[in-house]
């Protein structure tokens, strides 16, 4: 069952990567998409203050890292350093989660961004359960400042 879930998540990641590539090619051709750094993200206060209901256990962090590996690493890089192959190919700036500045974001803010997307990053709110998205917040936290180095995948 777990292998099937991981396989389905991997397939969803491939589909997402294809969609991002198609969107980016269209945007580049039409020059209609602003660079990510120019897009202002406004997160409602109620979302900023949301508390993570999922405990940061080693198991939940590992679940988040598995998801990150299949859903995010193509752009954010395998260790979250913002150097993923797809982002480099598309010349698309993405966040470096190993930067201690990322610690300034609340869990609620990270959850909101994962849920709704931002710029060219697709939303995962329809695809992933709330619990899995909260686990991904823990995974991102484990990358900041190198406190908890994610394993190679």
User: What's the sign of the alpha-carbon dihedral 70, 71, 77, 83?
Assistant: positive
**Bridge partners, 121 (sequence order):** 118
Domain regions of the chain by residue span: 2-146
Tokens of 22: 């198609």
User: Other C-beta atoms within 10 Å of 93: how many?
Assistant: 14
pLDDT digits 0-9 by tens, 13-26: 655 655 555 555 44
Cβ atoms of 46 and 62 closer than 8 Å: no
pLDDT for the residue 12: 59
pLDDT for the residue 149: 36
| Radius of gyration, CA atoms only, the chain | 15
Residue of 140, 146, 145 whose CA lies nearest to 63: 140
pLDDT for the residue 105: 87
pLDDT for the residue 26: 46
∠89-64-92 over CA atoms, to 5°?
A: 20
Owner of token pair 């300034």: 104
CATH number of 2-146: 1.10.760.10
Query: Whole-model pTM?
Result: 0.69
Cβ atoms of 86 and 120 closer than 8 Å: no
pLDDT for the residue 33: 37
Cα–Cα separations (whole angstroms), residue 8 to 2, 16, 41, 50, 127:
10, 12, 30, 29, 11
Q: For the chain, list residues with pLDDT below 50.
A: 25-37, 146-153
């Amino acid at each position: 069952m777990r292998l099937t879930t991981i396989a389905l998540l991997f397939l969803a990641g491939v589909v997402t990567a294809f969609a991002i590539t198609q969107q980016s090619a269209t945007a580049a051709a039409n020059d209609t998409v602003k660079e990510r750094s120019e897009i202002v993200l406004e997160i409602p206060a109620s979302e900023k203050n949301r508390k993570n209901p999922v405990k940061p256990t080693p198991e939940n962090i590992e679940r988040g890292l598995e998801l990150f590996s299949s859903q995010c690493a193509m752009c954010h890089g395998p260790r979250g350093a913002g150097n993923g192959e797809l982002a480099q190919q598309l010349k698309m700036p993405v966040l470096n989660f190993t930067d201690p500045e990322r610690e300034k974001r609340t869990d609620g803010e990270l959850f909101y961004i994962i849920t709704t997307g931002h710029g060219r990053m697709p939303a995962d709110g329809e695809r992933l359960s709330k619990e899995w998205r909260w686990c991904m917040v823990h995974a991102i936290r484990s990358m900041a400042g190198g406190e908890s180095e994610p394993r190679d995948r």
